[in-house]
Structures are given as structure tokens and as C-alpha cells.
Amino acid sequence: MNKFKNKMIQFMQGRYGNDAFNQALFVIALILVVVQLFVKNILLSSLVLILLIYINYRTLSRNIVARQLENDRYLRLVKPYQLQWQYRKTHKVFRCKQCKQIIRVPKGKGTIEVTCPKCKTKITKRT
């Protein structure tokens, strides 16, 4: 068993491995597999296969910088939604329309005017 473990470590050396983007792709693939139980569609099956191949390609890739850039792009895209979910009970999270800065304001304060900390644009928002 130890020999196999060492072989695996050696094989994965210099390869990218797993990240948040891969995990999200895997969840999408799993959802598609469940949908596939009810809807038989060759296009759906192909999509699942392509997704799984892409996930493996990313995991085993030696171009670590490119994979990190993809992951960064993904994280930048989902960050406002993660914050919205994280602070859903106490804050309202949105992006500045001018500079895309993520802004978080407390809930239940009525209609307020917020100044973007980055570009100083004034935004009126219901909280």
C-alpha cells in the first residue's frame, strides 16, 4: 500500500491537482448525471463526458499558471454570490456599476445612499 502511495505522489508531482473550479465543475457534472436519470439525451451524456475529461485534464495538467488563472477567473465570478450567501441574514452585497467593486451594506436600514469606496460613485440602494 505504501508503495502505491509513493507511486501516486511521484505521479502527481508537478501537476496541478484539485481546486475550487474543478469542484464546481464536478458538482455540475453530478447534477447532469442525476438529470440524465430522468431525461435520456445523447447530448447530455456527451456533455457529462466532456466535463469529466476536462476535470481530469485540469487535475493532471502541468501548466499550473494557466490552471491558476482559470481558477482565479472562476473565483472572481462567484465571489459576490458567495458573500451574498454568507451575509444573507445581516447584509446586502452588490457590485458597483462603475468599477465592479463589491460593496456590503447592513440590511434593514431603509433606502440609503452608499458611496463606493473605490471610485466614489454614489449609489442609492434599498436595504
Enumerate binding residues for Zn ion (CB under 5 A): 96, 98-99, 101, 116, 118-119, 121
Q: Which is nearer to Zn ion, 91 or 95 (CB)?
A: 95
Q: Give the nearest distance from C-beta 71 to Zn ion in angstroms.
A: 25
Q: Which is nearer to Zn ion, 90 or 121 (CB)?
A: 121
Question: Which CA distances in Å does 46 have to 19, 36, 37, 62, 118?
Answer: 23, 11, 14, 26, 44
Q: Give the nearest distance from C-beta 119 to Zn ion in angstroms.
A: 3
One-letter identity of residue 60? L
Could you tell me if residue 94 is left (phi over 0), alpha (psi between -120 and 50 degrees) or otherwise beta? Answer: beta
Would you say 114 and 123 are in contact if contact means Cβ atoms under 8 Å apart? yes
Q: Which is nearer to Zn ion, 62 or 76 (CB)?
A: 76
Q: Which is nearer to Zn ion, 97 or 109 (CB)?
A: 97
What is the CA angle 96-101-105, rounded to 5?
70
Q: Give the nearest distance from C-beta 33 to Zn ion in angstroms.
A: 41
In the Cβ-directed half-sphere of 91, how many Cα atoms lie within 13 Å? 14
